[in-house]
């Protein structure tokens, strides 16, 4: 097939800005007509044309589906335009000196079959194609770096400390728990189903886990799991869990504020009542956005690959087949339907 042969391109676009919980109907699969994509880059440009293999579904994408008049840390999606996300892609044409046809990369791309990437400096080359390529949407991609950076740099763990992870079976949480075990901590995870609770204990080696949806009283559940209190809380959910955690933190505890998914679809954010604990217990609570720390990726990748190859880190993925499944998979995150890292296989090669 000629390298510049024209093709059609299927893509997922945002239909309208979202308030409340997103639905599949807020997105649409559109087919750009045959000829929409030429498998070549514009002459003289440094752009790269990629074929997307795996696309990531991430909770932060929900924020991008709403309009922020006062701005946000990441650009809003635009109705009628293709959604963007982290993905694993294969270079099919390149005007960039460091990337050539056939190279495998991960980074920000479109929710579509082919994407012309005009800022290829933002892409990372895939250095370990011997591992499943889909890992570069998860354990070896953005969520993996989030777990690693958030746990080691923000939480500053010490051997023997007591660690709680919420949304613990997800893309980030399952890794935080395992990194905490490697560090010699005592780790408890909260998750939203008995199946996930079993996974935490049997597959990921958490010391204890509980189904927060079945607990009448989160404060009591935390007291049961942590009779001596919590040193580190890796915060993924916010809301009632954060309030209960504050009551159970130890003096000089740390809260790594990674995300607060329970708040993403609320038109009015819930209040937090127990903030005085931050003062009384000398708690350090620190948020972070992992895009600020991509410079740390190289060191992280080699360390994580080592853990995977030595069998110290396991990774569970929830893979749906076909671009048309992306809207359903994305909104499933906000109902806890994913078991492990949610991603979409668009093409296998």
Ligand X SMILES: NC(=O)c1ccc[n+]([C@@H]2O[C@H](COP(=O)([O-])OP(=O)(O)OC[C@H]3O[C@@H](n4cnc5c(N)ncnc54)[C@H](OP(=O)(O)O)[C@@H]3O)[C@@H](O)[C@H]2O)c1
Residues that bind ligand X (CB under 6 A): 58-60, 143, 146, 167, 169-173, 191-193, 196, 236-237, 258-262, 288-290, 333-334, 336, 338, 341-342
With b for 16 or more beta-carbon neighbours within 10 A and e for fewer, the 195-214 pattern comes to ebbebbeeebebbbbbbbee
Nearer to ligand X, 218 or 230 (CB): 218
Nearer to ligand X, 103 or 150 (CB): 150
Q: Which position's Cβ is nearest ligand X? A: 170
Least gap, CB of 56 to ligand X (angstroms): 8
Nearer to ligand X, 116 or 320 (CB): 320
Nearer to ligand X, 157 or 173 (CB): 173
**All residues at 6 or more sequence positions from 108 whose CB lies less than 8 Å from its CB, including other chains:** 84, 85, 86, 87, 117, 122
Measured in whole angstroms, the distance separating CA 318 from the mean position of its chain's CA atoms is 13
Nearer to ligand X, 37 or 168 (CB): 168
Least gap, CB of 86 to ligand X (angstroms): 10
Rounded CA-CA distance 117/121 in Å is: 9
**All residues at 6 or more sequence positions from 227 whose CB lies less than 8 Å from its CB, including other chains:** none
Cα within 13 Å of Cα(61), Cβ side: 27
Least gap, CB of 218 to ligand X (angstroms): 11
Contact 330, 61 (CB under 8 A): yes
Least gap, CB of 136 to ligand X (angstroms): 14
Cα within 13 Å of Cα(146), Cβ side: 25
Rounded CA-CA distance 110/108 in Å is: 7
Least gap, CB of 282 to ligand X (angstroms): 24
Residue 67, CA distances (Å) to 18, 21, 88, 110, 208 in order:
8, 14, 27, 19, 40
Nearer to ligand X, 121 or 194 (CB): 194
Nearer to ligand X, 22 or 192 (CB): 192
């Amino acid at each position: 097939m000629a390298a510049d042969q024209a093709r059609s391109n299927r893509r997922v676009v945002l239909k309208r800005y979202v308030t409340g919980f997103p639905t599949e109907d807020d997105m649409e699969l559109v087919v750009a007509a045959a000829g929409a994509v030429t498998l070549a880059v514009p002459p003289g440009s440094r752009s790269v044309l990629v074929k997307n293999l795996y696309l990531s579904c991430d909770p932060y994408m929900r924020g991008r589906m709403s309009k922020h008049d006062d701005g946000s840390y990441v650009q809003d999606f635009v109705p009628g335009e293709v959604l963007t996300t982290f993905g694993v892609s294969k270079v099919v044409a390149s005007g960039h000196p460091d990337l050539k046809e056939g190279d495998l990369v991960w980074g920000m791309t479109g929710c579509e079959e082919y994407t012309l990437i005009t800022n290829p400096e933002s892409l990372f080359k895939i250095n370990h194609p011997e591992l499943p390529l889909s890992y570069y949407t998860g354990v070896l991609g953005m969520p993996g770096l989030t777990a690693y950076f958030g746990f080691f740099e923000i939480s500053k763990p010490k051997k023997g400390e007591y660690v709680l992870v919420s949304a613990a079976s997800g893309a980030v949480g399952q890794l935080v728990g395992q990194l905490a075990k490697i560090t010699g901590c005592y780790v408890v995870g909260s998750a939203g189903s008995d199946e996930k609770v079993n996974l935490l204990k049997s597959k990921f080696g958490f010391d204890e886990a509980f189904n927060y949806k079945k607990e009448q009283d989160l404060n009591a559940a935390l007291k049961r799991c942590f009779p001596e209190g919590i040193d580190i809380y890796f915060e993924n959910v916010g809301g009632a869990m954060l309030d209960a955690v504050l009551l159970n933190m130890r003096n000089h505890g740390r809260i790594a504020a990674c995300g607060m998914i329970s708040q993403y679809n609320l038109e009015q954010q819930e209040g937090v009542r127990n903030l005085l604990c931050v003062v009384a217990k000398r708690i350090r609570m620190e948020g972070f956005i992992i895009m600020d720390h991509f410079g740390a990726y190289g060191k992280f990748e080699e360390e994580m690959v080592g853990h995977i190859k030595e069998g110290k880190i396991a990774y569970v993925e929830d893979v749906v087949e076909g671009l048309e499944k992306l809207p359903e998979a994305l909104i499933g995150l906000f109902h806890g339907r994913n078991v492990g890292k949610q991603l979409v296989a668009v093409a296998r090669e």
